[in-house]
Amino acid sequence: MTFIDTFYSLFKGPTEAYAISRDYITPEGDHKRAYLPSNYSGSKPGAANIVREVVADIGTADYGVKAVTAHLKGDHFLGVYPINPDSTVNFFALDFDAEVEAEARAAAKRQQTVFMLEAELPTYIERSRSGKGYHLWGFLETPVNAGELRFALAPFIENADTYDRMFPNQDGVSEAKPYGNLIALPLYGPNVIKDDPTGVFVGIDNKNQLVFIDDQKAYLSDVAKIPASDIQKLFESRNETYSPDLGGSIRLGDPEALDGIYKVVHKEVGCEWIRWCIENPTEVGEPEWYALACQFAQLTGGREMFHAASKDDPRYNVRVTDEKFDQALEQNKPHGCAYIRENLNGPECHCDTRFLGYGVHHPYDLAKVPFSIMLEQLKLEAEPEWAVDGLLEAFAHVKHVYKNPNDFDGVEYGIPELDKYTELRGNDFVVFSARPGRGKTAFMVDIAYRIASAGTFVYVYSMEMSKQQFWLRLLSRIAQVDGKRLQKGTLLGSEWKRIIRTIRDIKQNPLPILVDDTTYDSTDVVNKAAELIARHGYGAVLIDYLQMATNRENERNYDKVSRVCREYKLLAKGMHVPVLALAQMNREGEDLNEDSETLDSVLEGSGKIEQYADVIIFLLGLRRPGIVQRTLVLHKERHREAGHRIKLDFNQPVMTFGSHGKWSAIAATINNQQVTPQVPQPTKGFFA
């Protein structure tokens, strides 16, 4: 086997194309570098000319021995796309970069040691073409799935400041991303024979000094390839669920991939310049488009967002958009707010002046600002609006709902009697209030299950219960098994069968419920909830309970409740989701019953709940065991008429609210109360 064959067998990628790296001069006289696939089919004349010239000289657009030979001889500097069409790879590489070469060198050496000692994987260090960075290569005996490889290696990768990214950079390929990110090939002829060679394999001694290898051919001919079975063992040893991401949205271990892209593009509090680019794609020129790519390249999910921002432009092309994003990743020089103001089209960017003290110098830096701080720029009070604008908007809403009666901006509670009069709407802050022991938490568990069963995400923030307590209550609710017996383990055989059947059903149809019991701070709740909503999608936020949030220093309870209500209302408005918070009535609500005409007094001294809440529901009833009657009072409904009283049965042992009728009559008889039985609806009851 010749050395060229050996080289090609190590750095093997898809045969459809190789990557061309070429310097060029723009019409403005700027020196730039283009990274283009050899089968480039874009519409840019300059890029097309470069590709045609290189391909004609090499004699083929395919990646193989001819392309490798041209690279090694120094005819053309080329790169390889690591991922094959079937989403497998033949090698992996980690990229380390730093302004001070010794720092990147030390990081590459540490990582090599970790791979050898902890994962028993042989790897090899290459000094990259820049002379300031290093690539750490591993070569595989047979192809391995890209996503499974990344998943298997993730626990062993150190998040050093100098670590840039891993190749493969994606979990696989798709129609939108047919190749993945390129990596430059080593041993480019002219660089190898320089006095200070780059793009060559090196050793690093214990003093972090370079040890140059004279015979690169012999060195590469003796490399140890990693069996696919070794990667499979590492993959199976991870006690986590593997979920491949074919979009390349997460750059594994990349310290620059910030979470919080939703803050940057937020319609009300995000970057005004970025919003303009997204909403006016046909007005975005090449400089603005590249600047947008540079911002998104710093953010987790940036590639998908860049495609979403570009796709409404009639000039949009999937491959060209990916190339532009890859260029932004490679250059890694996002424009600051001041540069955007002075040099680019669109509205002036003022992100750097809006959040002083949070290190905001670029639009992407908004991802670093706590969402609760950003929300303070939202106005809760309605802005003046001309009648013609408001009425036309109202007509458009009515017309849409008329044509799509099931499509409304809300979530049903799942309790038919309650859904007749109200729902959980996006932007609304709902307060559900009762005295202790009346069933507030049980109501939250019940509707969490009902909402999630209908396919809507539910984000639960529990300050009173632990996660374990919540899951036990939810299991009791779903299986309809007495919660006390479930906790003690004194279950009947039939109850065990219901629990096993419930668990089997949940495994087949997982409920979209996320529970967080880690904070008593309302500001943390807002920030965490916003992040989860941005990641997983629209859903209802349930908080148990409002008054348990911690006080600020020297803060009275009245002021605390007012602040917390404002924060939760801002969360609802900022993320356009319903937020329901449980609240405890003051002691004046102890003796209230279903016939009470006024409930205003129970909110006095409880902060500005009435001001910030869009909906207020009271839960009334006596504290008794077993199945009891409860009355829901729709005290406030900003969008519909209030005052409705809804009678329900509350089966306390299994935490279910259902239609008032047969079962409440049985409970009343047990409790020696005289009530007139009502005929139950055949399809309802507390098993609803």
- pLDDT averaged over consecutive 10-residue blocks of the chain (688 residues)? 92 93 64 76 71 93 95 94 93 90 93 94 94 94 94 87 85 73 92 93 93 94 96 90 56 52 90 93 90 90 88 85 84 86 90 84 90 81 65 74 66 90 91 88 94 92 88 90 82 82 87 89 89 88 86 81 89 92 71 52 64 89 86 88 89 87 51 38 27
Tokens of 132: 């300031």
pLDDT at 27: 56
CA dist 143 and 545 (Å) reads 53
pLDDT at 260: 87
Report domain extents, the chain.
Answer: 1-80, 83-255, 261-369, 410-611
CA dist 268 and 259 (Å) reads 19
Q: CA of 627: how far to CAs of 281, 434, 519, 589, 621, in Å?
A: 60, 18, 33, 22, 12
CA dist 247 and 102 (Å) reads 34
- Looking at residue 283, the DSSP 8-state letter turns out to be G
Q: CA of 679: how far to CAs of 120, 431, 574, 667, in Å?
A: 72, 32, 45, 15
Burial 473-499 (b: 16+ CB within 10 A, else e): bbbbbbbbbbbeebeeeebeeebeeeb
Q: CA of 584: how far to CAs of 110, 119, 590, in Å?
A: 55, 54, 11
- CATH class assigned to 410-611: alpha beta
Dihedral pair phi/psi, residue 619, rounded to 5°: -110, 115
Tokens of 484: 């006390």
pLDDT at 185: 95
